[in-house]
Amino acid sequence: MPSLADLADEIDKIRLDGVTTGGLTSGACVPEAVAERFLERLALCGFVAVELLKAAEEHQPLSLPREVEPPRPRPL
């Protein structure tokens, strides 16, 4: 049964009853700690075997939009 969750606490153990395989995907802008919280929650639901697969490795730095970026110090 496909299910989407934005927060690890949204994973419902009852909905996972009878499910034997699951997947977790994330993009480059998702902090690793967030993905780890999802894996910890899945482990509490009985998913203890984890296989890490990397489809791509991102090396492009992400920057904030100019409107919200903090001001840069001016050279002397």
* Contact (Cβ atoms closer than 8 angstroms) between residue 8 and residue 31: no
For residue range 56-75, what is the model confidence (pLDDT) as tens digits? Answer: 777 777 777 788 777 778 88
The domain spans of the chain are: 1-53
Between residues 42 and 54, the one the model is more confident about: 42
| Of 38, 30, 52, the residue nearest 5 (C-alpha) | 38
For residue range 4-38, what is the model confidence (pLDDT) as tens digits? Answer: 677 777 777 777 888 888 888 877 777 888 888 88
Q: Which residue has the tokens 């699951």?
A: 22
What pTM, to 2 d.p., does this model score? 0.59
What percent of the chain has pLDDT above 70?
95
